[in-house]
Chain A
Amino acid sequence: MVAKSHRRGPGGLLRNPTFMFLLPMVAYLILWRVLPLLYTVYLSLNDWNLLKPGKTFIGVDNYVRLVSDVRFHDSLWFSFFFMLVATGIQTILGTGLALATDRSFRGRSFVQGSLLLPMFLTPVAVGSIWYILFQPSIGPLNYLLSFLGLGPYNMLGSASTALWAIVIADTWQWTPFIYLLVLSALQGIPETIIEAAQIDRASDFVIIRRIILPLITGTILVAALLRAMEAFRVFPKIYVMTGGGPGRATEASSILIYKTAFRFFEIGYASAMTIVMLVLLVMAYGFYLKIVRKMAVEY
Chain B
Amino acid sequence: MVGQHSRLKNILTGVVTAAAILWTLFPLYYLFLTSVKSGKTIMEYPPRFLVWPDFGIYQHIFIKEHFYWFFVNSFIISSGATLLALVIGATAAFAFSHWSFRGKEPLFLASMVGRMFPPITTLIPIYLGVKLFNLVDTHLALIMIYASFQVPLILLILRDFFNQVPREITECAYIDGCSSWMVFYRIVLPLAKNGIVAAGILCFVEAWNEFIFALVLTSFNAKTAPVVLATFVENEGSLQWGALAALGVWTVMPTLLFMLFLKKFLIRGLTMGALKG
- CB within 8 Å of B: which residues of A? 1-4, 17-18, 21-22, 24-26, 28-29, 31-37, 39-40, 43, 96-97, 100-103, 111, 113-118, 120-125, 127-133, 135, 137-140, 143, 172, 176-177, 180-181, 184, 186, 189, 191, 194-195, 198, 204, 207-208, 219, 222-223, 226, 229, 232-233, 235-236, 239-240, 243, 254, 257-258, 261-262, 267, 270-271, 274-275, 277-278, 281
Nearest A-chain residue to B171, judged by Cβ: A1
**Contact assessment for A254 and B118 in the assembled complex, using a CB-CB cutoff below 8 Å:** yes
Contact with A along B137-176 (1 / 0, CB 8 A): 0000000110110011001000000000001001100100
28 contacts between A and B (CB under 8 A): A17-B99, A21-B94, A22-B91, A22-B92, A24-B88, A24-B91, A28-B148, A29-B111, A39-B125, A97-B20, A100-B16, A100-B17, A116-B259, A120-B256, A125-B248, A125-B251, A125-B252, A128-B245, A131-B233, A132-B245, A138-B42, A181-B275, A207-B2, A229-B118, A257-B123, A258-B216, A261-B124, A274-B124
Segment at the A interface, from B54-62, B65-73, B189-197, B224-232? B224-232
Residues of the A chain whose Cβ atoms lie less than 8 Å from the Cβ of B111: 25, 29
Nearest A-chain residue to B96, judged by Cβ: A22
* CB-contact partner of B3 in A36, A198, A278, under 8 A: A198
Residues of the B chain whose Cβ atoms lie less than 8 Å from the Cβ of A257: 120, 123
Residues of the B chain whose Cβ atoms lie less than 8 Å from the Cβ of A274: 120-121, 124
**Contact assessment for B125 and A131 in the assembled complex, using a CB-CB cutoff below 8 Å:** no
Contact with A along B77-102 (1 / 0, CB 8 A): 00000000001110110110011110
**Contact assessment for B2 and A114 in the assembled complex, using a CB-CB cutoff below 8 Å:** no
Give 3 closest A-B pairs by Cβ, nearest first.
A32-B148, A25-B92, A36-B122
Q: What is the CA–CA distance of A233 and B115 in the complex, to the nearest angstrom?
A: 13
**Contact assessment for B233 and A29 in the assembled complex, using a CB-CB cutoff below 8 Å:** no
**Contact assessment for B21 and A103 in the assembled complex, using a CB-CB cutoff below 8 Å:** no
Nearest A-chain residue to B89, judged by Cβ: A25
**Contact assessment for B4 and A204 in the assembled complex, using a CB-CB cutoff below 8 Å:** yes
Instruction: Tell me the chain B residues, 242-270 only, with Cβ under 8 Å from chain A.
Output: 244-245, 247-248, 251-252, 255-256, 258-260, 263, 266-267, 270
**Contact assessment for A113 and B120 in the assembled complex, using a CB-CB cutoff below 8 Å:** no
Q: What is the CA–CA distance of A145 and B238 in the complex, to the nearest angstrom?
A: 22
* CB-contact partner of A240 in B87, B95, B230, B275, under 8 A: B230
**Contact assessment for B211 and A229 in the assembled complex, using a CB-CB cutoff below 8 Å:** no
When A103-B2, A117-B28, A229-B116 are in contact, do A36 and B244 touch as well, CB less than 8 Å? no
**Contact assessment for B271 and A258 in the assembled complex, using a CB-CB cutoff below 8 Å:** no
When A29-B148, A204-B9 are in contact, do A233 and B119 touch as well, CB less than 8 Å? yes
